[in-house]
Every structure is written in C-alpha cells, then in structure tokens.
Chain A
C-alpha cells in the first residue's frame, strides 16, 4: 500500500510539472498582453456581458484613471500587475458566483478552463 501511495504521489508531481495527460485543453503560460512575466491566457466576451454596467469593470471611466483597456494597466503597470490574479478572480469569479447564488446562469463560477483559454474576442 505504501508503494502504491508513493507512486501516486510521484504521478501527482509529474502532472503538476508536465500537465494533465488527459485534459482536452491545456493553457500555456506566456507574455500575453505585454505582461512582464508569463501568465495564463484569459478569455472574455463583451457580447456575453452586454447587460452589465460598463463601470462595473471599466472603473477608469469614472475614477479618472485614464481611458486605457483593462490589460493596458493590469498586466503592465508594475504596481498593479502583481495583483492581477487576485483582482480578476475577485471581480470576474466573484460576479459569476453571485449570479450562481441567485440561480442565474451568469458564467462559470469555478471551472478554470472556462476562462483560461485565450480568444480573439474584443
């Protein structure tokens, strides 16, 4: 039994290092959107969010911090980009979770691959 669990542990380490051998899609870390360090790709479809208030995400339209797109600051500004993962998870996933709690289909609340595949959508 000990040998079995040692093999399982080593297998787990291999999967963490080299990725799942059975997952259909695997994200590739890279310098997306000009990020200083490799990050996961992200997908976002404006068309799926037309019913939301723009300022919910585009805070810079209201707080006078410029007119740039999200990625312009959030992956390139040296002070902001280290917070990228937490801020985007809080905003995107937090909103999806709220919708899920209301019983509304409001986007994926947890599945990583639902958001971490890159796309060319505006």
Chain B
C-alpha cells in the first residue's frame, strides 16, 4: 500500500509543483487525472515486480491499470467530438506514443501467463526478457505522451523530474532488487486510490480563484 501511495503521490505532486491551480475545465482535468492514475499504476507494477512475484496478482493489477488507461482514452473520445482528430494519421507524435503505450500494455498483460505465453515465447527466459523490454517501452511512450503534451507539466523542470522518475523506476532494477519483493496491491485498492487522487486533482484544478 505504501508503494502504491508513493507512486500516486510522486506522479500527482509533480503536476502541482508549478502552476498548481492551472486547469482546463473539470471535463479535461478529470480525464487527464485518470491518465495520471494509470501511469502511477504502471510505476507500482514495475516497483513491485522483483523477486518472488505473485504473478496472478501482478496480472490482475495490470488489467486494472489497463482499464483506467482505457477509461482515460474513452473519456475523451466519447466526451469531446473533435478529439478523435488527434487519433488519426497526421496527429501529433505524442498522441501516437499514448496509443502505442496502451496497445503495448494490453499486449504484455494478455500474453503474460500460460497458456497464452507459450503461443508467443518458447521459453521463460525469452518471455522475461521481452516482458521487461516491452514494459520499459510502455513506460517510456507513456512518459513521452504526458511530458510532451505539456499542460500540467508546463515548466521545463517538471518535465525533467517526471521523466527522471519514470526512468529511475524503469531502469532502476538493481535499486529495486535491494528493496526486495514489495507487495502488489489488489485491484480494488488500486481503483479506490485512483478515484480519490483523480477527484482531488480535478477539484484542486477547478477551485474558484
């Protein structure tokens, strides 16, 4: 639970260290809060993937993170009639990075356990290698999507710190190993924390001046 809260706190607080009241309306802020919650979930999944991992719990939470990421996507696609134009050919590259991140997340979750894993990977070592590589790419593309879209992280040092946080989690395997096997939270707890942080984020950004 502490790792989950730390992941959420780090992600959301970085958006508040400059222009904490900067908002784009409750609809937009709520949708993006879901995206930040999904990203915090990605960090939690990575932080807790050391040692003797409970793979079922890890996959179950992965589905939860994917669900929140898709809620972020569909929130905007359904609510704003023009935003689909940013999901077509010619869209800004940071939007394509977001799409790739979602697709990769879905892929690495669904082929992670047997029997599906055997359809893609001949042996466990190959699976582990590609699962790690694709997880790093998933975090990397999601980070690019968030930082380059450049609204809540509008000051340069916010982007640097955010990318640094993502990089430290994605590439800090040796550090994570020292922490040992951290517990993976249940999907219900993750959803509850996501809702609380998303609601707080949205309210804070839309308080009357």
Chain A residue total in the interface (Cβ 8 A) = 30
Q: Which B residues fall within an 8 A CB radius of A?
A: 19, 21-25, 27-28, 63, 66, 70, 73-74, 77-88, 106, 110, 116, 151, 154, 209
- Asked if residues B154 and A97 are in contact (CB atoms below 8 Å), the reply is yes
- Asked if residues B81 and A5 are in contact (CB atoms below 8 Å), the reply is no
- Residues of chain A within 8 A (CB-CB) of B70 are 5, 8, 12
* Chain B interface mostly: helix
- Asked if residues B78 and A15 are in contact (CB atoms below 8 Å), the reply is yes
- Asked if residues A101 and B25 are in contact (CB atoms below 8 Å), the reply is no
Compute how far the CA of A110 lies from the CA of B79 in the bound complex, rounded to whole angstroms.
13
Is A34 an interface position by the 8 A CB rule?
Answer: no
Is A9 an interface position by the 8 A CB rule?
Answer: yes
Shortest Cβ gap from B82 to chain A (Å) = 4
Shortest Cβ gap from B111 to chain A (Å) = 9
- Residues of chain B within 8 A (CB-CB) of A1 are 63, 110
Query: Known contacts being A101-B19, A101-B154, is A12 close to B74, with CB within 8 Å?
Result: yes
- Residues of chain A within 8 A (CB-CB) of B85 are 27, 29, 40, 112
Identify B110's interface contact among A5, A19, A23, CB under 8 A: A5
- Residues of chain B within 8 A (CB-CB) of A40 are 82, 85
Compute how far the CA of A81 lies from the CA of B82 in the bound complex, rounded to whole angstroms.
20
Compute how far the CA of A31 lies from the CA of B15 in the bound complex, rounded to whole angstroms.
39
- Asked if residues B82 and A116 are in contact (CB atoms below 8 Å), the reply is yes
Is A20 an interface position by the 8 A CB rule?
Answer: yes
- Residues of chain A within 8 A (CB-CB) of B19 are 101
- Residues of chain A within 8 A (CB-CB) of B27 are 111
User: Besides the contacts A19-B81, A103-B209, what 4 more A-B pairs have beta carbons closer than 8 Å?
Assistant: A97-B151, A100-B23, A112-B81, A112-B85
